[in-house]
Amino acid sequence: MTKSEIIALVRNHISGGSVVGDLLHKTDPRVIELYVSAAYQDIVYEVFRIDQSGLSLYAKSFMGVEVAADAVTGLHMSELPEAIIQLPGVASAIRSIRFDTGTELVFVPLEADLMESMKMLDSGDYTINPTIGYCLRGTNSIEFMNFPVAEAANTLRIDLVIPFTAFSASEQVHLPSGKVSAFIEAVIGLLMGRPRVDLLSNNAEAEAK
């Protein structure tokens, strides 16, 4: 389902008279998008809590991400191509990194402190340890450790979990299988100020009403 279709479903649900009249002023698609985004983020957090491997379904792939080397420090960095949903854990919303060219090298997420320690050891030498470490710096940059100079001109494909608001209107947005109705009800609940519900539970339909 596309982003615009999801917003339209919620808007039609409100306009169709199935909710109280004081919500009708909130049918502006821009307003609905913000509430949908909040419910979508709740889903992402629940997936992270239950099974992080499931986050791959919610990740968007970005190709052609450039790697820049600092002339003074020699550090290799990339700017995130889009805002991400901030998640706990070392990888956060960065679900996968690989070369666009198909070069089979392994990228491994590292804690920032561990990365700094490894830089002082032989594990930070690509000729000894052919694994590329990375960590998120701030909210929009990735720092790489052990990045091979021979690959510095190649671009990356990075899979990121991004907010609902960051998708274009025509892009497909993943929702949990069989939970679309519960998701719409959860958005309506947020509009009405009701407590958030666990959209991944088997009782989500009942809880959302």
Q: Position of tokens 């629940």?
A: 46
Whether the Cβ atoms of residue 10 and residue 32 lie closer than 8 Å to each other: yes
For 65-107, the pLDDT digits (tens) are 999 998 787 789 999 999 999 998 888 899 999 999 888 889 9
Does the pLDDT of residue 59 top 90, yes or no?
yes
Which residues does 73 contact at the CB level (< 8 Å), separation at least 6? none
Q: How many residues make up the chain in this entry?
A: 209
For 110-160, the pLDDT digits (tens) are 988 887 777 666 555 555 556 899 999 888 999 998 888 888 889 999 999
Whether the Cβ atoms of residue 158 and residue 94 lie closer than 8 Å to each other: yes
Confidence of residue 207 (pLDDT cuts 50, 70, 90): very low
Could you give the C-alpha distances from 137 to 22, 65, 140, 184, in angstroms and in order? Answer: 43, 16, 7, 35
Does the pLDDT of residue 206 top 50, yes or no?
no
Long-range own/partner contacts, residues 107-112 (CB < 8 A, 24 or more apart)? 107/131, 107/132, 107/133, 107/134, 108/132, 108/133, 108/134, 109/133, 109/134, 109/135, 110/134, 110/135, 110/145, 111/135, 112/137
Does the pLDDT of residue 167 top 90, yes or no?
yes
| Structure-block tokens of residue 139 | 């909210």
Distance CA 209, CA 206 (A): 6
Confidence of residue 199 (pLDDT cuts 50, 70, 90): low
Whether the Cβ atoms of residue 100 and residue 63 lie closer than 8 Å to each other: yes
- What is the pLDDT, as a whole number, of residue 198? 64
Distance CA 81, CA 157 (A): 10
Report the chain's terminal Cα–Cα distance, integer Å: 23
Mean pLDDT score, 13-36: 71
Does the pLDDT of residue 178 top 60, yes or no?
yes
Tell me the one-letter amino acid at 119.
K
Q: Where are the alpha helices (DSSP H) in 109-195?
A: 112-119, 180-192
Confidence of residue 208 (pLDDT cuts 50, 70, 90): very low
* Per-domain boundaries in the chain: 3-53+165-208, 55-161
Distance CA 189, CA 204 (A): 12
